[in-house]
Amino acid sequence: MERIKLHIAYDGTNFAGYQVQHNQRTVQLVVERALSKMHRQEMKVYTSGRTDSGVHANDQVLHFNSPMTLDCSSWRNALQTLLPKDVKIMHVEKVDESFDARKSAKEKVYRYQIINQREYDVFKRLYEWHVIKPLSMERMRSAAKLIEGTHDFTAFSASKSNVKGDKKRTIKSIDIWEEGDGRIIFEVRGNGFLTHMVRIIVGTLVEIGLGKKDETCITQALETLNRQVLGLTAPSHGLCLWKVIY
């Protein structure tokens, strides 16, 4: 048996998220199908963590165990041939059995892209959130500082969240920068994330940037654990799992 670490990118537009769900096209489903076809037996893959419906990945990490002995470039070519175009193998590595895509992950980096101008971009509409009214970078950056650190992030998770137990997480940093042509990028790094956590962070920072909310809502949410005091959940299509650090 060999343990293989797969780095993949995907366009989340036509997927009902990462995780297998009954009768839905998911990333896990198409990867397991490709592997099962190669192996002529049912194969399972393990991920660093799932992503929601519509969320993209620039560098998601998976692992699986295989009785086959191929070199990494053969793995890459064979799998890519069996995958649809919206999932791309970026890198293949052999790892020892102590590696686990989820448990070994030290940090995750997400990026969220906004186009902040009157008109949206038809060719990027599936990859960025269109916010028409001007956002204050200063207000958003100041509020982001209040989120950084180790907190109970219960208020920053979907009420339907099925994460059991401890909701204490560490957000290492939130960086926000402009990239020209009205683009604003949010980069959120942390040791783990609850369901919808990045989208609630971005949705809240945007409402603060628009002047609809005051940054004190964040301190309040971290104290009261009340989702209601925060802003909206930003739409999934602006979010991208940027990389996983081991």
- Which amino acids are annotated catalytic? 52
CB neighbour class for 20 (10 Å; exposed up to 12, middle 13-18, buried from 19): middle
Is 87 a binding residue for its own copies by CB under 8 A? The answer is yes
Distance CA 196, CA 15 (A): 17
Distance CA 42, CA 158 (A): 33
Least distance (Å) between residue 117 CB and its own copies: 13
Q: What is the DSSP string of 86-112?
A: TEEEEEEEEE-TT--TTTT--EEEEEE
Decide: 96 and 235 in contact? Cβ < 8 Å.
Answer: no
Sole binder of its own copies in the list 125, 133, 168, 212 (CB under 8 A): 125
- Closest CB to its own copies among residues 118, 168: 118
Q: Which long-range contacts (CB under 8 A, 24 or more apart) does 166-174 make?
A: 167/194, 169/193, 169/194, 169/197, 171/147, 171/201, 172/107, 172/148, 173/148, 174/144, 174/145, 174/147, 174/148, 174/201, 174/205
Is 237 a binding residue for its own copies by CB under 8 A? The answer is no
- DSSP bridge pairs for 62: 6, 47
Mask for 148-167, x = binds its own copies (CB under 8 A): --------------------
- The answer to whether 18 is annotated as binding is no
Beta-carbon count within 10 A of 132 CB: 11
Least distance (Å) between residue 92 CB and its own copies: 13
Contact region with its own copies (CB under 8 A), list: 6-14, 35-43, 95-103, 191-199: 6-14
Is 88 a binding residue for its own copies by CB under 8 A? The answer is yes
Q: Identify residues 9-28 at the interface with its own copies (CB under 8 A).
A: 9-11
For its own copies (CB under 8 A), the number of binding residues is: 15
Contact region with its own copies (CB under 8 A), list: 38-46, 122-130, 163-171, 225-233: 122-130
Is 85 a binding residue for its own copies by CB under 8 A? The answer is yes
Is 138 a binding residue for its own copies by CB under 8 A? The answer is no
CA 246, distance to chain mean position in Å, is: 16
Least distance (Å) between residue 76 CB and its own copies: 9
Is 52 a binding residue for its own copies by CB under 8 A? The answer is no
- DSSP bridge pairs for 92: 6
Least distance (Å) between residue 29 CB and its own copies: 17
Q: Which residues are annotated as a binding site?
A: 110
| Residues in contact with its own copies by the rule CB under 8 A | 9-11, 56, 85-88, 90, 119-120, 122-123, 125, 127
Q: Which residues are annotated as a binding site for substrate?
A: 110
